[in-house]
Structure 1
C-alpha cells in the first residue's frame, strides 16, 4: 500500500533526515554578518571539490598536457563550469526538499527502479574507491618504495583514521579535507614555479580552439576530461552534507542557505579547477616542451619530472600531492557510501562495517591486479574505474535535473527557464560524451 504523501510531488513520505547523526549540527549565526555566515557554510564545497581532483583525473590531464600543450585548458574550464551548475542543483535539492538525492529517488520512483539505481550507485562508489586505493598505493611506492601489493593492504588501515574523525564531529572531517587540499595546492604551486610555464600560451589555452574537435586524438582526450568531470557520488554527497548546517527551515532561511552554499561550492570548485589546470600546465611545460608527448601514465610522469626540472623535490611533491588526493577522496567516498545506502534502502550500518565492505570490494581486484600484472595492472584498473563512473553518471544527473525542474517538488525554488535549459543541455552533452567514450573504449 502506498504511503501517504507528506509533501507535494513525492510518492512516499521522507521520515529520516539525511546523515541523522550530524543533521543540522553546524550552527549558523542568526545575525546578518556576511563573513560569519559564509564561514559557517564553508566546508561542504571543499568535500565536493575533492571528487574533481582525485587520482582518476590525473591521467587525462597529464596526457592532455604532454600531447597538446596548453590547448586543452579550455576543456578543463568548461568542465568546471558544468560542475558548478550541477553541484548548485544538488545543494538546492537538499536544502529545499530536505532530501538527499538518494532519498529523493526512493520517494519518487517505484521500488524496483529505486533499488536498481542503488545497485548502480554502489558499483560506482566501489569503482571510485578503487581509484582512491590505486592513487594512494602508487603514491606510497613513489614516496617510500613500498611494493604495490603491500601498499594495497596498508590502505585498509585508513578505515580507523576516518572513524576517528567521524566521531569527533563533522567540522573535524571538513578541517582534515581542507588541510589535505592545502597540501595539494602547496605541492602543485611548487611544481608550477619549477616548470616555468609560458603565461601567454596558458591564457590562449583557456580560449576554446576549433583544433580540439578537428584533431581526433585531442577530441578523444577532451572527452576523457569532460566525461570524468562530475563524479556521480558527489551529487548524492552534496545534497546531503549541506543539511548539516543549522539554518532556519523557512522560505527565507532556505534562500539564505542556497546563497551561501552556492558561494562555498563555486569557490571550492575554483580550487579544483586550479589543481586540474596545474596538472595539465606542468605536463605541458615539462613533457610537451621537451618532446615527451606520449606520457600518459602517472608513474612515467613522476620518473621524468626530476631529471627535466632538475630538482629532487619535484618528484617528492608530485607523489605527496597524489597521496593527499587519494586520502581525501577516501573520506568523501565513505560519507557517500553511507548516504547512498541509508537514502535508497533505509538500511543503517555502523560506519566501520560500511567502510570495510566498500574497501574490501575495491581491495580484491586491486590486489589481484598488483600480484599478476604489477604497476601496469593497477593503471589499467584506474581506467576501468573511470569507465564505470562514466556509465553511472547518467543515472545520477537525469533524476537531479528532473527533480529540481519540477514545480510541485521545488515550489518557488524551481529552476528558472535559463537554468532549466542550461541544466538539460549540460546533461545531454555529458551523457552523450560518456556513452561515446564507453563505446570507443570497449569496441573502438
Structure 2
C-alpha cells in the first residue's frame, strides 16, 4: 500500500509529549497515560445512560453481563487503534485515504461527520438536561450555554495537549466519584450484582430484554473513538525503533485498558444504582434521565443523591463533547486533507448539533429529548461498521503492518467482534425503524 507524504494527524500536538528513555516503568506509564481516558468518555456518555437506566429498572442486574461483553469488545478495538497508529504513523482516517479511492474516502468522511454530529447532539442534550436538573434552566437556554465550551477547548489546546488530557481525566474522575457515592447510598446486594455479570439464556429468550441489551451493545462502541485513538496515541514522542514501537503499543494498550475499566465501573454503576433504587422498589418503568433524577433522592433517602447524579451527567456531557471535536478535526484532515482553523471547526460541529436540538425542543417540547437521544444512537449504529471493518482489515494486513500485524488468534477474534457488532447494530436499527412505524 503506497503512503503519500502528508502532514501527520493533529500536527500541532504530534509527538509533543516526551517519553522517558530509561527503564523506569512508572515514569513511562505516566508519560503514555492520557489518550485512553479521552477515548473512555465515549463509553460513558449521556447516550449510554438511558439504556443503562432502562436495563436496571426493568431487569435488575441481569444485563450487567451485556455491559461487560461490550467493554471487552471496546478494549480489543481500542488496542487495534493503538497498534495501527504506532506501527504505521497513520490514524484510521489517513489509512482509509491511502487504501481506498477518493470517492470511497469521501463517502466514509461524510458518514463519519454525520456520526460525529449525532454524537455531539447526544452530549449537548445530556449537558443541557443536567443544567436543567441542577439549576432549573430551560433546555433551550441549556443547549446554548453548553455550546460555549468551545472557548475552554481552544484555550486548553493553546496551552498544550496535556491540559486537554488533564481536564478529561478530572471530568472522568468526577463521574466515577459521584457514582461510587451512589453505589454506597443504594447498598446493592453484592452477590446478586456479581451474578449479573454471568450471561443468561434469558436475555436471548425475552424480546424486551434482548432489545435493551442490543441498545447497550449498539451504543457502547463509538465510531469516532476509533479515529480519535489512532491519532492521539501519536502525541507521544517515542524513539522510531522497532523496540520502542512495541513499547509504545504495550503502554498505549495498558493505558486504554485501565481507562476502559473505569468506564466499565461507571456504566455498571449506572445500571446497578438503577436496579437497586428503582427495580427492587417497584419502579420498573423508569427509562429517562429526568425521571431517574427526580426519583433517586426520595427512594434512596439521601438528599444529595439526585444532585450527584446531575453533576455526573454534566461532567459526562462536557467530557464527551470535547473529544468529539478532536475526532472531527482528525477525520476532516485525514479523509480529505481539509484543514480548518480550530475555532471554525468547532463552530461548524456545534451548529450541526445545536440546530436539530433547538428545532425539536421548540416544536415538540422538552419531552421529545428522549426520542432525539435514541435517534442519535441509531445514526451512530449505522456508521460503526464503516469504521470497525477497515480497522480490523488494516491491522491484519502484513504488508502495511509488518511485524506489528495482528497474530492469527487476534485476527480471528477481531473479525468475530466486527461481525457481531455489525449484526447487532443491523438488528437494533431494524427494530427501531419498525418501532417508529408500528
Give me the TM-score of the superposition, normalised by structure 2. Answer: 0.98
Shift of 1:397: 0.3
SS in 1 for 2:175: helix
- CA displacement at 1:43 relative to structure 2: 0.1
Q: Which of 392, 417, 425 is the matching residue for 2:416? A: 425
In structure 1, the partner of 2:385 is 394
Instruction: Verify: 1:405 aligned to 2:402, yes or no.
Output: no
1:350 to 312, 320, 341: 341
* 1:383 aligns to 2:401 (yes or no): no
1:86-125 superposed matches below 5 A: 86-125=77-116
Alignment-derived partner of residue 3 in structure 1: none
Query: Equivalents in 1 of 2:97, 2:144: separation in Å?
Result: 36
Could you tell me how far 1:374 is from its partner in structure 2? 2.4
What aligned pairs does 1:47-86 form with structure 2 within 5 A after superposition?
47-86=38-77
Tell me, yes or no, if the aligned pair for 1:65 and 1:280 is still in contact at 8 Å: yes
Note the residue ranges of structure 1 that are not aligned, 5 or more in a row.
1-8
Count of residues in correspondence between the two structures: 435
Which residue of structure 2 lines up, in the alignment, with residue 38 of structure 1? Answer: 29
2:151 aligned partner:
160
Going from structure 1 to structure 2, the CA distance change for 1:348 and 1:218 (only over 3 Å counts) comes to same
Instruction: Give the secondary-structure state (helix, strand or coil) at the position aligned to 2:61.
Output: coil
User: Counterpart of 1:261 in 2: which secondary structure?
Assistant: helix
Contact kept in structure 2, 1:14 and 1:107, CA below 8 Å: no
- 1:373 shift after superposition: 2.1
Picking from 298, 303, 307, the partner of 1:307 is 298
Deviation per CA, 1:335-361: give whole Å up to 9, x if none.
Answer: 000001000111111111000000000
- Following superposition, the deviation at residue 332 of structure 1 comes to 0.4
The aligned counterpart of 2:234 is: 243
RMSD value over aligned CA atoms? 0.7
Which residues of structure 2 form unaligned runs of 5+? none
TM-superposed deviation, 1:139: 0.1
**Structure 2 Cα separation of the partners of residues 379 and 373 of structure 1:** 11
1:256 aligned residue = 247
Counterpart of 1:5 in structure 2 is none
Q: Tell me the CA shift for residue 291 of structure 1.
A: 0.9
Return the offset for 1:369: 1.3
Aligned to 1:169: 160
Greater shift in the superposed pair: 367-376 or 346-355: 367-376
Partner-residue secondary structure (3-state), 1:228: helix
For 2:140 and 2:243, how far apart are their aligned partners in 1? Answer: 54
Q: Provide the rounded CA distance (Å) in 1 between the counterparts of 2:301 and 2:88.
A: 55
Specify the alignment match of 1:282 in structure 2: 273
Q: Give SS of 1:372's match.
A: helix
What TM-score do you get using the length of structure 1 for normalisation? 0.97
Aligned mates of 1:370, 1:158 — CA distance in 2: 21
1:277-299: per-residue Cα shift (whole Å, max 9, x none)?
Answer: 00000000010001111111001
Report deviation, 1:379. 1.4
Shift of 1:366: 0.5
CA contact (8 A) 1:142 1:319 kept: yes
